[in-house]
Amino acid sequence: MSANGTHAQLSGACLCGAVSVRVRPTRPELHACHCEMCRTWTGVALVEIDVAPKDFEASGPIKRFTSSDWAERAWCDACGTTLWYKLTIPGREHFAVSAGLFPDAGNFPLTKEIYIDRKPAGYAFAGDHLRQTKQQFEASLASASQGETQ
Ligand SMILES: [Zn+2]
Ligand SMILES: [Zn+2]
């Protein structure tokens, strides 16, 4: 689906208000990642909204941590709020912006969970949507890198 520019801009902020973000989501959808890093970083899972670099603006005291060879994670230096995960592979950059920054998470539905096989058994998100294991998700990334980026 090519929907760039068709979704309304969302404005959000961190807990203390020092960081503000303005984004135009690629799709009106929430995605959740249950990988070990996202769980350590957020407490449960990173629930995020995908945004292309051209549709992304942020200002404030932003700190970044290079969490792998292909990604960085950003937070507010004043209050510690999780801001976004950014894929940094040249030509494939995109932001996975924390849904918690936006009122009612944009009112978007959860449509995908990844690293579902890394999720602890003690909780689960409800709903009938795509759930990918680590292996399935990484295979989809590898095939995407040969053609269109997602
Ligand atoms: Zn803050
Ligand atoms: Zn993750």
User: 84 C-alpha to center of ligand 1: Å?
Assistant: 13
pLDDT digits (tens, 9 = 90+) for 17-30: 999 999 999 999 99
Given a cut of 90, is residue 67 above it in pLDDT? yes
Q: How far apart are CA 84 and CA 73, in angstroms?
A: 6
What are the residue boundaries of the structural domains of the chain, listed by start? 17-145
> What is the 47 CA–ligand 2 centroid distance (Å)?
9
pLDDT at 104: 95
pLDDT tens digit sequence for 32-50: 999 999 999 999 999 999 9
* Fold (topology level) of 17-145: 2.170.150
The DSSP annotation for 40-108 comes to HHHSS-EEEEEE-GGGEEEESSEEEEEEETTEEEEEETTT--EEEEEE-STT--EEEEEGGGSGGGGGP
Q: How far is the CA of 145 from the centre of ligand 2 (A)?
A: 18
Provide the mean pLDDT of the chain: 92
Q: How many whole angstroms from 37 Cα to the centroid of ligand 2?
A: 6
In percent, how much of the chain has pLDDT > 90?
A: 86
The pLDDT of 67-89, averaged and rounded, is 96
CA of 46 to the centre of ligand 2 (A): 6
For ligand 1, the distance from its centroid to the CA atom of residue 20, given in whole angstroms, is: 9
The alpha carbon of 109 and the centre of ligand 2 are apart by a number of angstroms equal to 19
**CA of 13, nearest ligand number:** 1
pLDDT of res. 143: 78
Residue 144 CA to ligand 2 center (angstroms) comes to: 18
Q: How confident is the model at residue 73 (pLDDT cuts 50, 70, 90)?
A: very high
Residue 149 Cα, ligand 1 centroid: separation in angstroms? Answer: 31
pTM, rounded to two decimals: 0.90
SS3 for 114?
strand
